[in-house]
Structure 1
Amino acid sequence: MAKYLLLKHYRGAPAPANCDAPIDQWTPAEISAHIKYMEDFGAKLVATGEFVEHQALAPEGTFVRYDGEGRPPVTDGPFPETKDLIAGWTVIDVDSYERALELAAELSAAPGPNGEPIHEWLELRPFLTAPPTITE
């Protein structure tokens, strides 16, 4: 088994990839359908034993970096360096990279306006594993 992070990006925030309507313009029913899809996806992963965790993120964010003088510079974020909104994540534990790709593609089809798949961008990242140990 290998753990992967499915990081949800809404490109060109606040609207997802192939969606003309910003999320704040979706109807309550469209938002509910999107959330239901995410809940059902999580339940499916629980049933298959592939679920680790998932969490949505608020759109507000701040970048903080030590400046060498004891004052962390703070900038508005996450927008200065990217037009993507990182909306949340799901952590899965699967048998293969191919299975991780399959689940990422399924999650990318979450519904948006008019129930159409939004084809959202997902970043698929393996968890770093311990480096190999050399024994002599």
Structure 2
Amino acid sequence: MAKYLLLKHYRGAPEAVNCVPMDQWKPEEITAHVQYMNDFAARLQETGEFVDGQALAPEGTWVRYDGEGRPPVTDGPFAETKDLIAGWMVIDVDSYERAVELAGELSAAPGKDGEPIHEWLELRPFLTEPPTITQ
């Protein structure tokens, strides 16, 4: 088994398919979208492939150590950026191919008018051991 992070990107770029901001969705469309993700997670819980997941609020703050003990804080992320991380899910699957299959399925969550939103998902394996350096 290998753990993967499915990082959900809301992509506001014009090339995105069916990219209608969620504030323009009807309440029942938002409910259907959330229900799809909950059903997806429940199904993966039954197979033992679901580890955890959370939705993220669009507000955020950037923090960086400044070398003097006072980390500077900057507002962000900003809605005008092309990508906004909307949430994440951790899965534990038998293969990379299975992880890709599940990411594709999650990308098809319904959006405006019930159409799949084709959401961008970043698929990242968890680092399990440090890389070996050979000479």
TM-score, scaled to structure 2: 0.90
SS at structure 2 position matched to 1:45: helix
Which residue is 1:127 aligned to?
126
Post-superposition offset of 1:131: 2.9
Q: Deviations over 1:61-108 (max 9, x none)?
A: 000001112221111112399421101101000000000000000000
RMSD of equivalent CA atoms = 2.2
Percent identity of the aligned residues? 80
**Quick one: which amino acid aligns to residue 40 of structure 1?**
D
CA distance in 2, matches of 1:68, 1:83: 31
| Count, aligned residues | 132
CA distance in 1, matches of 2:11, 2:25: 16
| CA gap 1:24/1:89 in 2 versus in 1, 3 angstroms | same
Which residue is 2:102 aligned to?
103
Question: Which 4+ runs in 1 deviate beyond 2 A?
Answer: 79-83
| CA gap 1:132/1:25 in 2 versus in 1, 3 angstroms | closer
CA distance in 1, matches of 2:65, 2:79: 17
Q: Deviations over 1:3-45 (max 9, x none)?
A: 00000000127x9x32242111110000000000000000110
| 1:7 equivalent in alignment to 2:7 | yes
* Runs of at least 5 residues in structure 2 that lack an aligned partner in the other structure: none
After TM superposition, list the pairs within 5 Å mapping 1:1-136 onto structure 2: 1-12=1-12, 17-79=16-78, 82-131=81-130
